[in-house]
Structure 1
Amino acid sequence: MAAVLDATTLRAWAHAAVDGLAAHADEINRLNVFPVADADTGTNMLFTMRSACAGADAADVDSDVVAVSAALFEGAVNGARGNSGVILSQILRALAEVTAQAADERDGVLGDVGARAFGAALRHAVGLIAASVGDVVPGTIVSVLQAAAAAAESADSDLAVTVAAASDAAEAALDRTREQLDVLTRAGVVDAGGRGLLVLLDALTLTLVGRAPQRRRHDPAVLERPAPSASPPQFEVMYLLGGCDPAAVETLRARLERLGDSVVIAAGGVGTPEGAADYSVHVHADDAGAAVEAALELGTLRRIQITALTAGRVAGTPESGRERAVVAVVDGDGARELFAGEGAAVVRLDGNEPVRAQHLLGAVTDTGARHVMVLPNGYVAAEELVAGCTAAMARGIDVVPVPTPSMVQGLAALAVHDPARSAVDDGYTMARAAGGARHGSVRVATDQALTWAGACRPGNGLGIAGDEVLIVGADVTAAGAGLIDLLLLSGGELVTVLTGEDAEPGVGEALREHVRREHLGAELVAYHTGHRGDVLLIGVE
Structure 2
Amino acid sequence: MEKINGQTLKNMIITGANILQKNKNAINDLNVFPVPDGDTGTNMTLTILSVAREVKKLGSATTIAEVAKVASNGALRGARGNSGVILSQIFRGFASGLTDKTEATTQDLAIAFSEASIAAYKAVMKPKEGTILTIVREFAEKTTEIADNHEDVNEFLKEAYDYAQEVLLKTPEMLEELKQAGVVDAGGKGFLYIIEGFINGMVTEEPELCNDSDICIVPDNIKKIDTSDILFEYCTEFMLERELKQSSNIKNLNTFLNKSGDSIVLVEDDEVIKVHIHTNNPGKVLEEALKMGRLIHIKIENMKEQHQDIIAKQEETKKNEPTKEIGFVSVVSGSGLENIMKDLGADYVVNGGQSMNPSTDDLLNAVNNINAKNIIILPNNKNIILSAKQVIDVVKDKNIYVIDTTNIPQGISALLSYNPSELIEKNLENAQKSYKDLKSAEITYAVRNTVIGDKKINKNDILGIIQGEIKKVGKKVFETVVDTIDAMVDEDSELISIYYGEGVKENDATKIKEYIMNKYPDCDVDLQFGGQPVYYYIISVE
Bucket of the pairwise TM-score, normalised by the shorter protein: 0.3 to 0.5
**TM-score, normalised relative to structure 1:** 0.47
**TM-score, normalised relative to structure 2:** 0.47
Higher RCO (C-alpha under 8 Å, 6+ residues apart): 2
